[in-house]
Copies of this chain bind each other. A is one copy, B any other.
């Protein structure tokens, strides 16, 4: 069971950026800078107009991968804390998808780590998006269709 005190969460519900940032901010007065990245659902992609995005996960593996991502970030960068939240549900354009929060004594490390976490999450965590395109009658995939056979 994931709780709002957990630094790594995959959840259906929306999240409050302020609550997530404050949860980290109050943990240490050594924090000089907090860099965040908030990913939102855009209303377009290479496939055309996007009316919604559905996210699917390989639940057990995704949870482990995100925990590992946090641990790697804490080892790799001179930072104090990292929080990673990813929604797995259907979101409409404008809605929040993913939030990375990195607190550090100095801003350079906070920025470096925040960017590394979101870049690496995309490569490393088994979550997939499927875009629902309103100008195409069928569902369309974000990723290049994978050749089978």
Interface residues of A (CB under 8 A from B): 16-18, 21, 25-26, 29-40, 42-44, 93-94, 105, 107, 110-111, 114-115, 118
Contact = CB atoms under 8 A, between A and B. Distances in A.
Interface class of chain A by DSSP: mixed
Given A26-B94, A34-B36, 12 more contacts: A29-B93, A30-B43, A31-B94, A32-B40, A34-B38, A34-B40, A35-B37, A36-B36, A37-B111, A39-B107, A42-B105, A111-B111
9 contacts: A18-B18, A21-B38, A25-B94, A29-B43, A29-B93, A30-B44, A33-B38, A33-B40, A35-B35
A33 B16 CA distance: 16
Contact of A36 (B30, B38, B42, B44): B38
Contacts of A25: 38, 40, 94
B37 A107 contact: yes
Contacts of A110: 37
Contacts of A30: 42-44
B42 A32 contact: yes
